[in-house]
Every structure is written in structure tokens, then in C-alpha cells.
Structure 1
Amino acid sequence: MNVPYVTLNIKNSVGYIEFFHPNRNSMPSDILIKLKDTIEEAGNNKSINVIVLQSGGDRTFCAGASFNEVMAVSNAEEGKTFFSGFANVINAMRTCPKLIIGRVQGKTVGGGVGLAAATDYCLATKYASIRLSELSIGIGPFVIEPAVTRKIGLAAMSQMTIDAETFFSSEWAKEKGLYADVFETVELLDGAVKELAEKLSAYNPEALKQMKTVFWEGTQHWDVLLTERAEISGALVLSKFTKKTLKRFR
């Protein structure tokens, strides 16, 4: 299993969207584009009532943005375009008319934390610790900040951002509201995700749609906001400080 992919499988009115990349499920631009398109496709599919977002493999849920692409950014426009990848996925999740359940089986970093925060209900294993490492390389979690702050609050978001080299435990994430529940094993997680998704899929689809709208009330400006945040990150990645720091990871 070394080929990146994004797939959509439908079972019992549940659309299972799965992404994978052999480098710890990091997200290059092409995978982010496919993920955005697949979320929109599932949102428009009348045979799907509920969506589950998950990643392949049994270890890392998502290592965030592709480090190789970050290092390759050579001008501000490239930077803005690159960092808009996660912005576009988060906005697709936000505007999707279907509830999205997150299934987080392992560690998640940076943009991956943003994906978990942008789900409507997220379940995880005890191995699913989280980290926002962006400040440590000279940028910041600007694009995902609105989604993360909305879910766990500004204080917890600030703590994670400042303690940029610390992995916060899954229990900490549950306490702060990112995860609704944490399970001992992947098998228990999968059972809980399936049970919840299929239960919700039997509810009134119109009620679910209207409830989703209520959940995301007040975020209509995110189309503009997240693009502006992508521009900030795109400029910072070109700074001498960041370029020098990134070279250490070559």
C-alpha cells in the first residue's frame, strides 16, 4: 500500500471517505484537491445520509501538509495556493449538507488537527495524540486556527500553538472537546463509528441537514478568512528564518 489515494465507499447510506499517503498520511496538494472534491461529491449524493472521514493505515491519522511541498514553495502566490489546500477542504466540510463523523486512529499533526476539528463529531483511539508544530518551523497554524478554536476554545488552541513541540494526549483532546470519545483499540473505534453513523443515517435527512447548518452558524465568512490566512502562511514560508529552519529537515 504505497500509492496515495482518496476513496469513497457507500454502505447502509453511510459514505466512507478515506485518504492515504505512504508518508504518514501527509497531504500534498493533489490529495487535498481530491479530498475536497470527494467531500463535495458525497455531500451531493442522495444515497448518502452521513459521511465518515478516515485515513488508511493503522498508525498516523494525518501528518499535516506535505513537508516536501512546503520546502519547494518559491514565491508568495505558490505559498498562498499551497496553504489554501487545507482551507478548501475545511470549507468543503463546513458547507457539506451531511454530518461528518471523524475517525482518528492515531497521531495527528498540524493540518490533520484541523481536519479532526472540522468534523461534526469525532471519535478516536487512545493513541490519537495531537500536535500543532507550525511555530517551531517558522510559520503558524493560521489556516486551521478558526476550526480548532471553534472546537476546543482559544485557550487550548493557544496552548497547543505555543507548546509547538508537545504532543497532547487523546484524553486531553477529549477533555477539550475535540474528541467526543476515546477507545482502547482501533477495533472498538471502528465499531463505535459504524454504530453511530448507521444510527444517524436512519434519522430524518432534512433534520440532519438543518442541524448541520445550526452547528456552523456564524462561519459564513470563512471562505474569505481562510484564504487570507493561507496568504499569511504563504508569505511566512518564504522568510529567511523559515527557509533556514526547513533546511535542517532536508
Structure 2
Amino acid sequence: MNALSQNGFITTTIDNKIAIITFSHPASNSFPSNLLKDLTGELNLLSENESVSVIILKSSGNGAFCAGASFDELLSIDNFDDGKLFFSGFANVINAMRTCKKIIIGRIQGKAVGGGVGLVSACDYVFATDNASVKLSEIAIGIGPFVIEPAVSRKIGKTAMSQLTLAAHDWKNAKWAFENGLYSELFTSIEDLDSTLTVFASKLASYNPEALQEMKKVFWENTSHWDVLLYDRAAISGKLVLSEFTKNALSAFKK
């Protein structure tokens, strides 16, 4: 499968019950709304694909894993409806990952910012390199990580979430992310990560798919209210992104 977008693209390959979704964007693998829509669609399709037991989510290149929301698109938002719609794109992806019937493994080769941290948090198991630092910079630009907060807090707890959110200008290194539960395993090189990931995914794919599906439900117990919560949070972000503070901060940040 290959879902092309005007800005960036999504590709999916399937082999031996393992689907590999790769997303790519020239701006450090950031997400404009059309790419969020494509990723949501791919996840929903794979959820119903009986030839798939395991999904690996990765981004292209050896640099950043994901720079989060598209700054260009954030700057272009000039009304509440468009703002809520844009942030709902992240809500759609996280909910698709949450309700997906397949185990999702994250392959994190580099830095993750904002919505990228949300994607990592919504994975069921995560392999990362020492270069995979994380940052939530939203407060610094006048908004906040409202949509992704439930996913991140579920993984690392409210205390670590508050540290990550309020230290908006600071990177937390991969060791911090590993020690706080965001990453499941940590590697010194991409080569070591990929070799271990291949073995791990192959073992998972050999297990009873019904058992994996039932365990997925257990992992995500008590999150059904996210069907409403994440869109309520998108409305908060959609309002804040229109503020003069945020417009000025985004322009300065982009420069």
C-alpha cells in the first residue's frame, strides 16, 4: 500500500504478518493535516487486515523521528473551526492507534517533539536509540500538549508529564524517556535497534493473533472516553492557536 500526499507521504509494506508503516516529510518528518489523515487511514485498514498481526511504525531517514505539527499549517490557521479540525488530526491518529486490533511497535531513531511524542506514547512497545531525545514545546508557543496528554500521561505518569510540559525549552534525553517508561528498550545504534526489532516483531507475529488482540484490549482498558476527550482537547488547542501570543511565537520560532 502507498498513500501519497502533497506534503510528505505514507508507505506500508507487509511481509510475514508484519506491516511496516513509514511516514516521511521533508520538514523533520512533521505532520500536516493531510499526512495525519493518511496515517489514520492506514492504521484503520491494517486493523482489519487478517494477514497482519503486528505493525511497526517508523519514520524515514536517520534524523528526527517526528517534529510534530506542521508549523506552516499552524501559522495559516485563522479561525476556530480550522484550528479544532487540525488538532483533531492528532486525535484521530491516537484513537486509531488505541483502537487498532494489532500490536504497534514504535521504531524511534531520533528526536521527537510535540505530536511526535504523542505518537511514541500511543505505541504498545517502543525501541529507541540514544539519540531519541524528547521535548514538548507547546507551552512555549502559547498552546499546550492537550490532545496528546492522555496518551503521554498513560505511559509516563502525570509527574513526568508535568516535567516534560513545563520545561518546554529543554530536551529530555533518551535515558530519561526510557527510565520513565516511554521507551521499552534503548540502543546505542540504529543497527542494533533494527536487528533486535526484527527478531522481536517476528516472535510476536508467530503468536496467536486472537491472544494478541485480547491483550491489546487489556493494555488500553479505561480509555474509551478518549473518543470524546481528545476532541474536546482539540477544541482547546484550536482556540489557543488563534491567540496573538501564539501567532507571534510561531513566527519567531519559524525564523
TM-score by length of 1: 0.98
Which of the residues 45, 53, 60 maps onto 1:56? 60
Contact 2:7 2:32 in 1 (8 A): no
Q: 1:74 matched to which residue of 2?
A: 78
The answer to whether structure 1 residue 164 and structure 2 residue 168 are counterparts is yes
- Cα shift at 1:122: 0.6
The answer to whether structure 1 residue 111 and structure 2 residue 84 are counterparts is no
AA at the equivalent of 2:40: K
Deviation by residue 1:53-77 (Cα, 9 ceiling, x = unmatched): 0001111000000000000000000
Deviation by residue 1:100-157 (Cα, 9 ceiling, x = unmatched): 0000000000000000000000110000000000000000000000000000000000
Which of the residues 7, 11, 33 maps onto 2:11? 7
- Cα shift at 1:240: 1.6
Q: 1:98 matched to which residue of 2?
A: 102
AA at the equivalent of 1:135: I
Query: How many pairs does the alignment contain?
Result: 249
Runs of 4+ in 1 over 3 A off after TM superposition: none
AA at the equivalent of 1:162: L
Cα distance in 2, alignment partners of residues 3 and 64 from structure 1: 14
AA at the equivalent of 1:70: L
Cα distance in 2, alignment partners of residues 234 and 58 from structure 1: 32
Q: Considering only aligned residues, what root-mean-square deviation do their CA atoms show, in Å?
A: 1.0
Q: Secondary structure at the match of 1:153?
A: helix
AA at the equivalent of 2:196: A
Counting only pairs closer than 5 Å after superposition, residues 1-250 of structure 1 correspond to structure 2 as 4-248=8-252, 249-250=254-255
Cα distance in 2, alignment partners of residues 247 and 22 from structure 1: 19
Cα distance in 1, alignment partners of residues 47 and 196 from structure 2: 22
- Cα shift at 1:247: 2.3
Contact 2:7 2:34 in 1 (8 A): no
Cα distance in 2, alignment partners of residues 81 and 146 from structure 1: 19
Cα distance in 1, alignment partners of residues 128 and 103 from structure 2: 17
Deviation by residue 1:45-102 (Cα, 9 ceiling, x = unmatched): 1110111000011110000000000000000000000001111000000000000000
Structure 2, unmatched stretches of 5+, are 1-5
TM-score by length of 2: 0.96
Q: Secondary structure at the match of 2:118?
A: helix
After the TM superposition, which of the residue ranges 189-198 and 137-146 deviates more from structure 2?
Answer: 189-198
Cα distance in 2, alignment partners of residues 122 and 4 from structure 1: 23
